[in-house]
Each structure stands twice: as C-alpha cells, then as structure tokens.
Structure 1
Amino acid sequence: MIKTDSLAMNVKNNKRLNRTSLSLVGSVLLMGLSSSANALGPVAVPETWGGDLASRERLTGAWGGIRDDMAKKGVVLDANMLLLPGGVATGGRETGADFWGSVDYSLNLDTGKMGLWPGGFFKFEGISSFGNTLYNEAGAMIPTNMSSLHPGFNQPSSGLMEASYTQFLSEHAGVMMGKLNLLDFTPNEFYGDYNTQFLNTALNLPLAFAMVPISAYGGGVIGLPTKDITLMALALDASGTPDENDISKAFDDGVTLMSGASIKIKPFGLAGHQAISGVWSNKTRFSLTQDPDNLARALLTQRFPFLGNPGPILERILRERFPDLLIPVQPFNRKENTWSVVYSFDQYFWQPDGDSKRGLGVFFNFGATDGNPNPIQYTYMMGIGGKGVFASRPHDSFGIGWARTQFSDQFVPLLRERLGLGLDHEDAVELYYAAAITPWLDVSPHLQVVNSALSKTLDENHQLRDMDTVVEANLRVNIKF
C-alpha cells in the first residue's frame, strides 16, 4: 500500500509549511466525512513506482524511471480501473446479471516540487464509465452501485470531474477554487470510498445531502486552529454537473453553501473522529407540495445528484394508472431555499500496539433536512469496519453496514395513499471483504440486502405486484495503472 510521505518542497525554508499542509489536507472534513489527502493537496507517492510485478505500486511500474522522475518534480499522472460484475439473485424488479466499469484518470501538479512556489496544488480528474448497471433490475430508490451516479447517471459516459487549484497560505489556512469533485471529500475511516469500501450509495455518504452537486465550480477556505480541529467552508454552483464545463454559467441559478467542523479524538489511545456539517442553498426548486395534476412535471422530472433519478420509475406507474396527471394544469409551487445537517463519528475499539492504521472500529452517521424540497427527511448509517485485522493480511479490509433513508412525508403522497407504493423508507445492509492481491490489485466480494422504499412495481402485464427484498451480489476488482 502507498504510504503518505511528508510533503517535500524544493525550497528549504518552506519545509515547516509543507509538513503542516500535508497534515491539514489529510485531515480536512467536509459533509461530515473525513477527506482523503488527494482531495486538496499532495498525492502520496512511493519511493519508486518500480519493482517486480507482485510488489510494484502500479501495474505499469515506473515507465523506465520516467514516472519516478516526474513524481520528484511534482507531476503525478495516474489511472485506476473499477470492474464490477454482479447480479440480482432474488427480489427486486427482476433477477439478472450485468457488468459495469469505469476508469478514473488524474493529473496532479505540486508547484513546490516543480520549483515554482510552495503550497500550491493543481488537480485535473476525468472519469469514463462503460457497461450496464443493475439499477433497473434491483428496483431500489437508492442506487446500489454508487459509481453509477457519475459522470452520467446510470449510463456509460465521460466527464470532467475536477479542475481545481489549492493554495496553502500558512500553517493554519488555505484556499481552493475551480471545478471541485465533491466525492473526493467523502472517504472516511470505514466508509465513503466505493472503490475500496461499501458500494451502496447510502453507505458511502449521507443522503441528507441529496441536493448537493457531485461536481461543481466554486471555492472555499480551510482552517486548522489546532492539530486536532479542522474547519471548512465552500460556496458551490448549485446546478453544477460533471458534464457542465462552461464556467460562465456558474451560479446563474443559485449557490450551495457547505461548512463542516471535525475533531480528532483518542480515548484510551484509540483513534477516532467526531464531526458536524451543514448545507444551505438558495436555488429555486420545485416544491414537493403540488396539486396532483402537476405531479409528474413538477416532481418526477427532477434530478437529485446523490439520489439519482427516481422519476422514470414512478412515471411508468403513473402512465398506467393516472395518465391525466402527467399534464400540468397550473403554475408550479416552488421553494426558495433548502437546508440539511449531518453529524457523524468513527471510533476504533481495538488497534495493534503502535499501529494507528489497523484495527476494528465502529461508525455512525445521522442527517436531517427540511423535507421539502429535499425528498429525504432523515438518514441513518452505522456499522463495523476492520483494517489489517489479521497480521498476515495487513492490507485487507472489511465492513458490515446498515443504512436507512427516510423519505419526506411530502414525497408523492398521492402514490402512497392511492396505490400503496410505500415510499416511506429504504433499508440497505451490505457486507464486503477487500483482499489486497498486490499493491496495484485488490478484489472484494459484496453482498447487499435491500428493502426498497418502492414496495410495488409493474409486471410484464403492466399490473402492480409486490416487490420482494432485493439480494444483490457483486465482485469488485480494482486495478491501479
């Protein structure tokens, strides 16, 4: 596994700033979740990318030494591939198997190592996806495969996720700007990285933030008043998407403000984190409170970045049962703002002596929203995670998690009352074990059991039938090039 080195700048007088910057970016908190160091600053690089096939950090090695020289000069070019074959074994809309994959490619530039100025970091990241997901077969309201959310929802596509610049101004403060990939901030000690941890969207991030864009233009500040406390605030284009790259359109229809605070704790010498974060946006959105005759156009055509797009699922039922409701007859009701808050913690309860990166721990996350226009009212997440529990397998990890997404009682009440479609809450349980085969290859089987919020679906005869609990199995393969 790649270990995080202290940030080595070329200018000797800036070494203190550089070490502090690495500590800062490695502990920044956003959305109630701990971010990875890659989110803001220097990427971790090994002493060499070379070595034999079983021990090198990347499949393609050091490129004849060129890759090592580039990294020493502050240029890191990387690519990772996610392969995800899987299938719905029972329940859902229908059983079946399919294959999904994506390639993430990035370029990181460290201005200090490049001999320009200290504390500056550029990041460019793109993603291309391919194949077919199990979204339609599973029938869950919350995508069981979080990688299907971007760059285009539930379809193969390519998009620019990030083009950002971060500058650390001192030991205690920094600023960032550009197009930001918000998913870069989600990795937590035991959840938040769908490449190495849970796959289900509800076990990666709090869906109380369903209104937050996945990728958007914006900027913000970070602060580290002490080594254990991190503060952060961002202002984002409320309508940003991975495939919207025209900066002239940023903030045309509103802003999304995000802020977070985290504190590192160490009860009984065991590592842990406590965090709280919030979101407010002034973008005008369709209200969930509409005349039934406006139902489809006013609600079902809306997109919720972290939730996906439940509209087509519900619209099929409306076309069969209430076709007249698809034609709006009066102006839409609108809401001028929305808010949500999230609290989270993770805590190890066992760690080997002297090793803060291994052990067993628990995590918990709770979110609340205004419930209108946000279709989500409350979110809960909890579970157990393990890293390097077995001494003979120090780089393996596993997790067992449960998530509940409680929908707002204003979310399509007509369909609940007239057709008994449920739409109250969705529960997901997931188990995985990630086995590190080599530093550049890991394989992990996943099992998900989902009780969908949508309790009925249309059969082949266009009749409503009960939808049973979904059991989905996946085999995730991660390859680092």
Structure 2
Amino acid sequence: MRADFRQVVIASVVLLFSGALAFGQYPQAVTPGPNSVPVAVEGPSQGTTAPTPSEPAGTVATEPVPPANPYAGDLFSRARLTGDWWGARSALANRGLTFDLFATQFYQGVTAGGNERAWEYGGKLDYLFNVDGQKLGLWKGLFLNMHAETRYGTDLNGIDGLIAPSNIAMNFPDATTSITSITGLKLTQALSENFAVYAGKINTLDEYPLRYSPGLGTNKPGLEGFQNTSLVFNPIVARTIPYAAAGAGFAVLKDLEPVFTFTVFDPEERATSGLQNLYDRGVVLVPDLVLRTKFLDRPGAYNFGGTYSTAKYRSFDPAAYLNIPFLRSLVARNPATPLETGSWSVYANFYQSIWVDELDEKRNWGLFGQFGISDGNPNPVRFVANGGIGGRSMIPGRKLDTFGVGYYYLGLSDNFKALARPFTPQRDEHGVELFYNYAITPWCRLTYDFQVATPSTINVNTTITTGLRLQILF
C-alpha cells in the first residue's frame, strides 16, 4: 500500500505541473515576497532599504543605505560587496537570473558550564541561484530556486550540552564535517495571482515564515538574527520535519503573499543526499496558515499550523534540528524500544510590531512568540513556549542594525526522560539569548551574541556562550 501511495503522490505532482503548463497565461506574474513560505522567491531587490525623498538629509552620510538596485552605488552604499559586475549582474537580473553569495563566520566560546570550555571558529557559505521564468522568456509564474551551502570549521554545538543547538546555522548541512551540498532546489508554478504549486528538495529553514527583522540582508534564519535553534525555528516540529526534504504542495496567495500552504514532505533527511526512494518511510503532512495584520496600523504576522507523519520513530531517534544527548548510548541501551507509528504536532507563532518607522514600514521592532505541543512519544519535545522582542534598531543613524532578546522553554516528554533516566537523566531545557547586529556597511554586518541556558542533561551545569558573527554579502 505504501508503494501505491508513493506512486499516487508522484503522479499527482506530475499532473499539477502538467496542468500548470497547460493553463496558459494570466494577467500578472506572481512574485512572492521575502517572508513567504514554500513559494518564497529570493530576488535581487530583497533585503534592501531604498532611501525615500522624505528621508532627512544626511542619512547616507551617517549610515549608507543601499539603493533599490542592491548592486548599484559605491563601495560603502551598495548592498553587495562586488557590486554590479560592470552592469552584467543587473542585466542578468532583468533577464530573470540572480545569484548571491553570503559568507558568514562564527567565533564563539563556552565560557561556563557545558560539556567543555573552549573557543571554536567555523563558517558557512550560502549560494543562492534564482530563475524567474517569465523574465527569461519562458512563461509567467515559473520560478526556480536553488540553495547550496558550504560548512567548514568547528562550532559549539557539540560541547554546549544543549539539546537545541546554540548555533543553528552551523548544524547544517552536516554538523560533523566540512561539506558542500545542495539543500534546496524548488520549482514553483503560479497558476494565478492567488494559487501556486511547488515541488522539489525544500530547505525547511529557508521557508520558515516567522521573521523578527523583515526585509533585511540575507533573510535567512540563523545568519543575521538569533542563533539558538529554539529562537530561530519552532522545535516542536523537529521530530517530523527534516532540514532538507523532498516535498510537493500548493499555496493560496493574497496580495502575492502565501496565506495558506499545504505540503506533503518525505520524512527522510536529505541535506547531503539526493531524491532517491521517495516516500519509502511514509509522508509528513503540513498545513500552514499565515495571517498578516495591521493591528493599530502596525504590521504583524500570525502563523498557525501542524504536522502529521505516518513514518515510524522512537523518541531518541536522530532529529535534524536537535542534538539528542548520548544518542548512541540511548540506542545501544534501548534496542528493544518499540517504534511508534505516526507523530503529530501543532504550533502557533507570531510577530507583532510595537514601533514602526513612519518613513519605512519595514523598519520596525516588536514582540514575537513561538508555542507548540506534540504527542510526546515519539516526539522528545512535549511542548514549546518562547518569546521576546526583536527587529530593527531605533538608534539614529543605525537604520540597518538589528537586535533581539529572547527566552525559550523546551519541555521534554516524560517518555524521553524515562528512557534517558538510567544513564543520562534529562530535564526541561530553557535559556536566554541576546544579540546586536551592527551594519558596518550594507554588505558587512558584525553581530555580538550572548546566551545563558540550563541544558537538558541534568549533570551539565548552566551553559554560558558568547561570541561574534561576521557576515559579508558578495
């Protein structure tokens, strides 16, 4: 039956895209925005803040602000270090082809607690390639997005003692080695201004809809805001959602932004592998609703959804977004632990602006929260409750800076605690993170990050980590 279901899923995807090609033209090409979920398209103008005529004189002199074309301007005002490549880059963008390279370096240390006190250096290279089919001369509504990553060096995730890694970016594509891999390759076809279908290898962190500083820089979670996994991504879905997953689905759009999406994922982690043996283990169904509001004339986003997987798991099985303590020991000591069929979770996330720049709505800061509950077996996380403040700086002359302060509480399940109790007792994990992201230029940002956490492993003392992150947008 599973093989038959897999064939139905694959056939449905083929039919969806065949229908898209046969559907023909519609009045206007859909261009999803920067905060989109699975139909998100990264374009050359995203992550920029163009000066407006009403901005006070001297803004560029006190803090360079990139123009609408991120490749234009001098070395200290453009949004990308390498500029326009003598006009070639903007010419390619006008033909629907864009390429970005982001280099992010981390130097962090465990200064107290944890499994080990040490300072580590490592980094990421993120390569983003995007195709707009209409501009390329193919047909309207066609988009192709690729995300490749290089991870190198070392990080704190193996020594901080946390079940939710303190540096989510360095956990992928493979936390154990230096590696380059394609973690996202997604094809999207908009059938109208209000409906689109998509399929491919989907980077689920890229698609996470909640942003605390919208419209700035890379727009990639973990690279310019919070770093702790619990404050970047809702860990309630960690049991069922891979980091890079094969998937297909549809999106309902409003004002060219996704309002509702439904995705059928393969449960297998594919960050460093291809798309072979699709849906052999079952399927993960993910409905997701995003409501964008204007409460008291201030933008907000409210996100509700859930996951249901038909695959088989144990609570101590590997999970892409978690570091299960002493995983090998758990497996060795509990070989007879039965596999549970199916796993579910529900979540609610929100961001509500409190302060908004009158001249630039994207420049705002506000409150955010992430909440969730799961089955507790096989999900090792029973509930999640996170919150804080974050967004763009209000400091005069520092329009591109961002900041955040957040608290997270990760309630581990009784089943997971019982399995771990004989040799590595577990408790709920909670902590605080703060960061300030200083824009040296529009293409170069330096972040200070500080975290204090009570690790899930009882015999590990309170962990304090601190460090710097330097990001350059090429």
TM-score bracket relative to the smaller structure: 0.7 to 0.9
Q: Residue 472 of structure 1 aligns to which amino acid in structure 2?
A: T
Scaled by the length of structure 1, what TM-score is found? 0.83
Do 1:408 and 1:424's aligned partners in 2 also have CA atoms closer than 8 Å? no
What is the deviation of 1:358? 1.8
- 1:54 and 1:448 mapped to 2: Cα distance? 32
Give distance in 1, aligned partners of 2:170 and 2:324.
Answer: 11
Partner of 1:279: 307
- Residue 395 in structure 1 maps to residue 400 in structure 2: yes
Alpha carbons of structure 1 residues 228 and 138: separation in structure 2 relative to 1, 3 Å = closer
Counterpart among 408, 414, 417 of residue 409 in structure 1: 414
Give the distance between the partners of 2:397 and 2:333, measured in 1 at CA. Answer: 63
Q: CA–CA distance in 2 between the matches of 1:75 and 1:251?
A: 32
CA distances 1:324-375 after superposition (whole Å, capped 9, x unpaired):
x936675x41211000000111111222324311233101110110011111
* Letter aligned with residue 139 of structure 1: G
Describe the shift of the 1:276–1:327 C-alpha distance in structure 2 as closer, same or farther (beyond 3 A): closer
Q: Which residue type is aligned with residue 289 of structure 2?
A: A
Contact map agreement 1:365 1:382 (CA 8 A) in 2:
yes
Q: Distance in 1 between matches of 2:399 and 2:335?
A: 62
Trace 1:36-55 onto structure 2 (pairs within 5 A): 39-40=40-41, 42-44=43-45, 46-47=68-69, 49-55=71-77
Partners in 1 of 2:442 and 2:87 — Cα distance?
Answer: 19
Q: Do the aligned partners of 2:132 and 2:143 also contact (CA within 8 Å) in 1?
A: yes
Any conservation in 2 of the 1:41–1:121 contact (CA below 8 Å)?
no
Matched residue of 2:360: which SS?
Answer: coil
Q: Output one character per residue of 1:32-59: Cα deviation in whole Å (capped at 9) or x when no partner.
A: xxxxx8x346453643614322112211
Partner of 2:12: none
Q: Any idea what the Cα deviations from partners look like across 1:52-72, whole Å, max 9, x if unmatched? A: 221122111222221121111
| Residue type at the aligned position of 1:230 | V
| Superposed CA offset, 1:216-259 (max 9, x none) | 111110002677870101011111321111x2311111111111
Q: Deviations over 1:97-135 (max 9, x none)?
A: 110101011211111111111111111221111101112
SS in 1 for 2:74: coil
Alpha-carbon distance in structure 2 between the residues aligned to 1:41 and 1:175: 17
Q: Secondary structure at the match of 1:271?
A: strand
Q: Does 1:326 align with 2:332?
A: yes
CA distance change for structure 1 residues 480 and 214 in 2, over 3 Å: closer, same or farther?
same
Structure 1 segment 98-137 matched on structure 2, within 5 A = 98-137=120-159
> CA 1:42–1:176 in 2, change beyond 3 Å: closer, same or farther?
farther
Q: Residue type matched to 2:295 in 1?
A: P
Q: Provide Cα deviations, 1:378-421, integer angstroms capped at 9, x if missing partner.
A: 011100113131231111110000111111000041543x46x5
Task: Report if the CA contact (8 A) 1:40-1:121 is conserved.
Answer: yes
CA shift in 2, pair 1:395/1:130, >3 Å? same
Describe how 1:283-294 pairs up with structure 2 within 5 A.
283-286=311-314, 288=315
Secondary structure of the structure 2 residue equivalent to 1:113: coil
Distance change (3 Å), C-alpha of 1:154 and 1:431: farther
Identify the structure with the greater helix proportion. 1
User: Normalization by structure 2: what TM-score?
Assistant: 0.84
1:194 aligned residue (202, 211, 222): 222
How far apart are 1:15 and its partner, in Å? Answer: 9.3
Q: 1:26: Cα distance to partner?
A: 4.1
Match of 1:474? 467
Match of 1:294 in 2: none
After superposition, the C-alpha distances for 1:444-464 in whole angstroms (9 at most, x for unaligned) are: 1000001101121xxxxxxxx
Question: Which residue number corresponds to residue 80 of structure 2?
Answer: 58
Give the residue type in structure 2 aligned to 1:470.
T
Q: What letter corresponds to residue 426 of structure 2 in structure 1?
A: L
What is the match of residue 241 of structure 1? 270
Q: What percent of counterpart residues are identical?
A: 29
| Residue 305 (str. 1) matches residue 306 (str. 2) | no
* CA-to-aligned-CA distance 1:189-233 (integer Å, 9 cap, x gap): 317711111000011011101120111111110002677870101
Q: Distance in 2 between matches of 1:56 and 1:329?
A: 57
**1:364 equivalent in structure 2:** 369
Q: Evaluate the alpha carbon distance shift between residue 440 and residue 93 of structure 1 in structure 2; reply closer, same or farther with a 3 A threshold.
A: same
Structure 2 counterpart of 1:214, from 240, 243, 252? 243
**Pairwise CA distance, 1:29:** 4.5
Q: Name the CA distance, whole Å, in 2 between partners of 1:53 and 1:227.
A: 33
Native 8 Å contact 2:194 2:253 kept in 1? yes
Pair 1:74-2:96 in alignment: yes
Query: Which secondary structure state, in structure 2, belongs to the residue aligned with residue 197 of structure 1?
Result: coil
Which of 416, 419, 442 aligns to 1:439? It is: 442
Contact 1:28 1:232 in 2 (8 A): no
- Equivalent-residue separation in structure 2 for 1:59 and 1:230 (angstroms): 34
In the other structure, the counterpart of 2:288 is: 260
Amino acid in the other structure paired with 2:445 = D
Residues 133, 154 of structure 1: 8 Å contact kept: no
Relative distance call for 1:183 and 1:225 in structure 2 (3 A) is same
Closer, same or farther in 2 for the Cα pair 1:414/1:108, shift >3 Å? Answer: closer
What's the C-alpha RMSD, in Å, of the aligned pairs?
2.3
SS in 1 for 2:362: coil
Find the partner of 2:198 among 172, 176, 179.
Answer: 176
| Structure 2 stretches lacking a partner, 5+ long | 1-23, 47-67, 214-219
Aligned pair count reads 423
User: Which residue number corresponds to residue 452 of structure 1?
Assistant: 455
Q: Bigger CA drift: 365-374 or 178-187? A: 178-187
SS of residue matched to 1:357:
strand
The answer to whether the 8 A contact 2:210-2:349 is kept is no
Tell whether 2:249 aligns with 1:224: no
Choose 147-156 or 227-236, whichever is displaced more. 227-236
